[in-house]
Amino acid sequence: MAKSRLNGRCLLERAASSRASQASMEYLLVVALTFAIMVPTTYLFYNYSKESGQEITDAQATKIGRNIVDTSETIFYSGQGSKTVIELNVPDNIVAAQIIDGREFVLNISTTFGVSELVFFSAVNMTTDGSECSINRCAIPGLGNSGLKKVKIEAVDKNSVNISTV
């Protein structure tokens, strides 16, 4: 009698254990399937967004460069004493800005494959504060980091326009 009761309890325990292992196995399968979908999807979207981010930075930097050069030309041809202040949103990847030989406005942008220079050519002579110039290169430190910047462009004399951050 006692033995048959013991066998019955064993069978019940086994059935309960089997149900529990089936539930665990199902849980594991669901988790594994979720991971199998999530991991590749995350990887693909991350890579897409990384490349899109580089294209966006390039577009923003190009817009900033063209804006500064076009405004410089407009101010220069408006005559001596003309000035304006433009607001620019500098993206994270811009690491330096400089004027070379008075005609090249250069933005250095950092990408995953190295630092590239975006060069914008001006028809008018550009300059900046004398303290930032050495030989034919003038740095504009205010544009070398991200954020909202105010740039003053002023026709200081009849030969050149001065570009500085305020």
Partner 1 sequence: MGLSVKGGRMKIKSQAALEFLTTYAWAFIVIAVTISTLYYFGIFDFSKYLPQKCIFPSQLKCLDFSLLPTEVRLKLVNNLGEDIQIQSISITNDATVPISCTADATPISWAHATQKDFTFTECSGGAYLPDERVELAVSMDYFAVNTPSHPIHKVNGKINGKVTT
What residue has token string 């086994």? Answer: 14
Contact 100, 137 (CB under 8 A): yes
Sole binder of partner 1 in the list 119, 145, 146, 150 (CB under 8 A): 119
9: tokens are: 């309890």
Please tell me whether residue 5 binds partner 1 under the rule CB under 8 A.
no
Site map 88..117 versus partner 1, x via CB under 8 A: ------------xx-xx-x--x-xxxxxxx
Question: CA angle, 154 as apex, 61 and 119 as ends, to 5°?
Answer: 30
d(CA 55, CA 60): 9
Shortest Cβ 15–partner 1 spacing (Å): 13
CB of 123 to partner 1, least distance (A): 10
CA distance 80 to 133: 22
Give me the least distance between CB of 101 and partner 1, in Å please: 5
- In the complex, the residues that contact partner 1 under the rule CB under 8 A are 6, 10, 14, 17, 40, 43-44, 47-48, 51, 54-55, 58-59, 62, 100-101, 103-104, 106, 109, 111-119, 121, 136-137
